[in-house]
Structure 1
Amino acid sequence: MKKILQPIEGDYYLSEEGYRVFTEQYHKRRGYCCESGCRHCPYGYNSKTNSRKKS
């Protein structure tokens, strides 16, 4: 079961449309890629090719 993180300061910002946008800081704290094509994904996931960049 995946643990649920409570957002802390710097984990997200609100877009002009009012959506919560998670930052790279949050994704790194979470520790895995959800493969949803997140804007600030530190894992290099590309939703168009359904792949991650090799490190």
Structure 2
Amino acid sequence: MSDKNNGQQSESNDSPDYYFNEQGFMVFTAAYHLKRGYCCKNGCKHCPYGFKKKV
């Protein structure tokens, strides 16, 4: 199933925007979040803005 893990390539950057984890969920990369330009405050796994969701 490694074909699934390629992720979308951005035009200006060679880093993938996302990948699929072992459970099949799409996980956005830090490169994607930086390209988007703001924090959504959802506690994303690869948040480059340092946001941590309170449990």
Q: What's the TM-score once normalised by structure 1's chain length?
A: 0.71
Among 16, 19, 29, the alignment partner of 1:23 is 29
State the number of aligned residues: 43
Identity of aligned residues (%): 53
Give the structure 2 partner of residue 34 of structure 1: 40
Quote how far apart the aligned CAs of 1:8 are.
Answer: 3.5
Structure 1 unmatched runs, 5+: 1-6, 50-55
**What amino acid maps onto 1:22 in structure 2?**
F
Runs of 4+ deviating beyond 6 Å: none
Give the structure 2 partner of residue 11 of structure 1: 17
Q: What's the TM-score once normalised by structure 2's chain length?
A: 0.71
Structure 2 unmatched runs, 5+: 1-6, 10-15
More strand by share: 1
Q: Distance in 2 between matches of 1:12 and 1:33?
A: 16
Give the structure 2 partner of residue 46 of structure 1: 52
**What amino acid maps onto 1:40 in structure 2?**
H
